[in-house]
Every structure is written in C-alpha cells, then in structure tokens.
C-alpha cells in the first residue's frame, strides 16, 4: 500500500488541512464540473460506506478476497482514496470532514488483497476486469505489484479495461526508485507526488512519470483511527487526486475517448514554480495536473487512442482491415514491383537491340574483309540505365517518452510535438 499516515485529532482540523483544495481553487473548479455521472472504481482494500463523508457515494461493488463485503475496510486505505476522490464532507451542510475533488462522482469499491508484493495479483486483476464491465470510466490503482509486468495476467486485465475506454491511473511508488508496475505499463497514467510547495516529494518514484499531484501531508478519511481521519504521505493520495481530475473531465467531456481525456490531462499540466525543467521530466513527467486548466483550456481532441504508448499487440476497432497507411504502403510495394518489372523489360529490349547490332556489325565486317578502321567498327556508346535514387528513412530525432513527444523549442533530446501545442507554465 502506497501511503503512510498519522491520525488527526478532530474533524474540524481536517478541513483546515486540505491544502490541495486550496491549491486547485476547488470552489472555482466545481463551477465547471463536480464529476456528476462518472463512476470511479477503486481497486483497493474496500471502501467503508458507513463513513459520514462518503454517505451516498459508494456503490455496491464486489469483494475478491473472500471476506464478503466490499463496503467494509479494516485496513482503511481504500476508504482514504475514496474520500480524496468523492468525499462530500460531514456535519451541518458538509462544513467539516473531507471533501473530495470530484464530490459528485460515484465510487465503485473493488475489494482485493494489495499488500505490497505479497498480495493476490489475480484478485485485483479480476477486479480491474469487473470494474470495466460495470461501466467504470476511471480505475484508481493506488498499489504496486511487481507481478504485473507486461504480458502478465494483471497487465492483460488493464489492457482489457483500456479496450473498454477506461482511463487507468496508478501510483508511481514511494521508495525513491523507478516507477513501479502497474503504473509503468503502457497507456497507464503514472502519478508522482508533490508537497505543499509543489516540489517533488523525495520518496516519490521517478522515470516514467506521466503527471504529478499533491501527495504529502494530505488529510483524508481513515476508519482505523479514533477520530476517523488522518494526514498521510504517498503517491496513493496523488493518484486519487488525478483520478478525481479525470472524473471531472469525463463528466465535462463525455464525448471524448479515454485517450483524448489523457491528452487533455497532459496538455494542461505545468511545472508551475519548478523552473528550469523540461518535458518529459524525470520527477514530474509532463507537469503537475491542473483540474481548472484541464477543464477550460482550448485543447484539440487529438487521436482517439491518445498520446501514451499503447500495449504491444493492441488493435483498433478496425483491426480486421488494413489502415490507410498500411493500404498505401501495400500499394507502394506493388507499384515498386511493377516499376522494377518495367525496368527489366526495358533492359532486356535494349540488350536484345545491342546484341542484334553487334551481330549485324560482325557480319558486315566479315563481309567487308575484316577491316579494322572506324568505318567498319562498332562505336562504344557508354550508355547505361540510370539507377534509381536509393530510398532512405531518417529516424526522427529523439525517442518518445510514454509515446508522447516534447514540444518544439524545449531543450529536450526528444523535442518534437506533432500537435505543436504545450501548456503554459503557470496557473492552475
């Protein structure tokens, strides 16, 4: 579980500790979207639906541990994530407790075993498939599991969810190493954490990060404490915030595909006060996710598959037919073959003409007595068929990062943005 926490003394203290809402200017964000109509699946330790901050927010869900009830959470981790995403506060008019960034989204609890690398990979992989089948458009994976490498059962489950137009968001990890699986899988939004100063958290994993979000000293519901609340550090929390932002976007832009939502998330991210960085940054990826900007920035839809790398072997909905590029390429190959055949025909005719000419000259020379003067000789023409210029392919400069390119002008080795657009470096 990618989170460490300390209990908070009271519910009143919680509201004052929700600094991410202030940073994101949540009140302004909610004028545009609160996540209504969106289901976020939390594949975790369950979600305690009896918590006052989550009243009416938790759907029935499903348990994959054998304990029976996905709306019970003896560990508290899944409930904490749910509160950051869709908490509605408690007390009179919701004036106390935790409010999530997408307070009108619904939570689908998927109860699994996610203890660090000792959990049941099969259970959460099955949970991912279940979430996709139940209509969740966002799946939050605040977990790590080295068994979810490419080609594994878990990776295939994520690919299945992605094929169902689901945005999968996962935690980068908390051990200051490289981004863990499943966050490192193709097409998954890998999330790092930043602190109150919006600087990278020292324990957040790096290299392969897509975006970052608040994850340090974050107040959240925790049913295992006496007050019911805690303040915690971890990429678990930052992942929940990005899942909430995706929920806001999916509510505001229901016509966009999962890939296009990710495109909007990435294009609106910014380094903010982290000056001197270039995309893709090892610690922040494409920047800190910004809900207000993501909701309102003028961003072209982009391709349906989005900017991130796709899983190997993934196919489009038209996989049974060749794409336009494939058809054109095939035709080009056929055309090249026909051209080569034409050249061979011309060469053959020319050779035949030359051979006939030589034979005619020899016969004439013999008939004329074998004279060696120019009058009886065959002049050397020196003519050859011109060779076609050799076709060459120049690899574009720089490799892509997660299937996405840095924008023009950035002093990054992978500097090329096919859409020629990049977010401003300030604002939320």
15 — phi, psi (to 5°)?
Answer: -60, -40
Taking the C-alpha atoms of residue 36 and residue 251, their distance in angstroms, rounded to an integer, is 6
Write b or e for each residue in 188-227: b if 16 or more Cβ atoms lie within 10 A of its Cβ, otherwise e.
bbbbbbbbeebbbbebbbbbbbbbbbbbbebbbbbbbeee
Contact status, residue 183 vs residue 175, Cβ threshold 8 Å: no
Contact status, residue 140 vs residue 40, Cβ threshold 8 Å: yes
Question: What are the structure tokens assigned to 366, written together?
Answer: 């013999």
Active site annotation includes 416? no
Cβ-based neighbour number of residue 150 at 10 Å: 14
| Cα 274 versus chain centre, distance | 22
Q: Which of 77, 96, 142, 417 is catalytic?
A: 77
Taking the C-alpha atoms of residue 100 and residue 197, their distance in angstroms, rounded to an integer, is 20
Minimal CA–CA distance to 30: which of 80, 71, 76, 89?
Answer: 89
Q: Which of 44, 48, 53, 233 is catalytic?
A: 44
Torsional class of 151: left (φ above 0), alpha (ψ -120 to 50), beta (otherwise): left
Active site annotation includes 175? no
Active site annotation includes 77? yes
- Work out the angle between the directed axes of helices 121-133 and 153-163 (0-180°, nearest 10): 10
Q: Which of 96, 152, 236, 238 is catalytic?
A: 236
Residues that are catalytic: 44, 77, 236
């Amino acid at each position: 579980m990618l989170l460490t926490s300390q209990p908070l003394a009271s519910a009143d203290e919680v509201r004052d500790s929700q600094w991410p809402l202030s940073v994101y200017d949540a009140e302004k964000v909610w004028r545009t979207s609160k996540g209504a109509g969106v289901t976020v699946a939390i594949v975790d330790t369950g979600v305690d639906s009896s918590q006052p901050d989550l009243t009416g927010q938790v759907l029935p869900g499903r348990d994959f541990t054998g304990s029976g009830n996905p709306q019970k959470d003896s560990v508290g981790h899944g409930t904490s994530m749910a509160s950051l995403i869709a908490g509605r506060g408690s007390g009179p008019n919701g004036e106390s407790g935790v409010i999530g960034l997408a307070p009108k989204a619904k939570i689908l609890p998927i109860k699994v075993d996610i203890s660090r690398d000792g959990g049941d990979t099969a259970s959460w992989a099955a949970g991912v498939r279940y979430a996709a089948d139940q209509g969740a458009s966002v799946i939050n994976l605040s977990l790590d599991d080295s068994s979810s490498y490419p080609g594994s059962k878990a990776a295939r489950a994520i690919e299945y969810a992605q094929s169902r137009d689901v945005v999968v968001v996962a935690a980068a990890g908390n051990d200051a190493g490289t981004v863990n699986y499943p966050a490192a899988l193709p097409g998954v939004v890998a999330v790092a954490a930043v602190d109150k100063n919006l600087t990278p958290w020292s324990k957040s994993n790096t290299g392969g990060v897509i975006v970052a979000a608040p994850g340090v000293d974050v107040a959240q519901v925790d049913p295992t404490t006496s007050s019911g609340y805690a303040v915690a550090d971890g990429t678990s929390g930052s992942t929940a915030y990005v899942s909430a932002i995706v929920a806001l976007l999916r509510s505001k832009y229901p016509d966009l595909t999962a890939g296009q939502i990710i495109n909007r998330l990435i294009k609106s991210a910014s380094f903010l006060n982290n000056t001197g960085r270039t995309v893709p940054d090892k610690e922040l990826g494409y920047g800190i996710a910004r809900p207000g900007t993501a909701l309102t920035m003028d961003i072209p839809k982009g391709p349906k598959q989005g900017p991130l790398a796709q899983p190997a072997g993934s196919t489009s909905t038209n996989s049974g037919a060749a794409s336009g590029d494939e058809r054109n390429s095939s035709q080009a190959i056929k055309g090249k073959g026909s051209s080569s055949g034409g050249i061979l025909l011309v060469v053959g005719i020319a050779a035949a003409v030359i051979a006939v000419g030589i034979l005619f000259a020899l016969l004439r020379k013999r008939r004329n007595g074998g004279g060696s003067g120019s009058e009886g000789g065959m002049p050397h023409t020196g003519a050859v068929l011109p060779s076609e210029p050799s076709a060459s392919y120049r690899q574009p400069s720089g490799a892509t990062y997660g299937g996405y390119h840095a924008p023009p002008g950035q002093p990054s080795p992978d500097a090329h943005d096919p859409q020629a657009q990049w977010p401003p470096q300030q604002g939320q």
